[in-house]
């Protein structure tokens, strides 16, 4: 895995963990992670799917992460 990809992986993991607040905001969307990390949604989705420390659920056409 390249250093750039490893760094992106760490950043999306941090974005999920930072934005999830179990009382007010129990999940974060792929779009929110992409926006925060300034990356395309499809890149965020791929990185999040490959990240073993976050969980997800598909709701319709969207994924939520925690």
Q: What is the pLDDT of residues 24-38, one digit of tens each?
A: 778 999 999 999 999
Q: Assign 7 to helix, strand or coil.
A: helix
Please report which residue ranges of the chain form alpha helices under DSSP H.
Answer: 3-19, 30-37, 41-49
Q: What is the pTM of this model?
A: 0.73
Higher pLDDT, 56 or 23: 56
What was the pLDDT predicted at 19? Answer: 76
Residue tagged 């009382």 (tokens): 23
Q: Which two tokens stand for residue 23?
A: 């009382």
CA–CA separation, 57 and 40 (whole Å): 20
């Amino acid at each position: 895995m390249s250093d750039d990809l490893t760094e992106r992986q760490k950043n999306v993991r941090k974005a999920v963990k930072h934005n999830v607040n179990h009382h007010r905001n129990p999940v974060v969307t792929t779009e929110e992670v992409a926006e925060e990390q300034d990356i395309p949604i499809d890149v965020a989705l791929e990185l999040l799917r490959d990240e073993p420390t976050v969980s997800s659920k598909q709701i319709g056409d969207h994924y939520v992460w925690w």
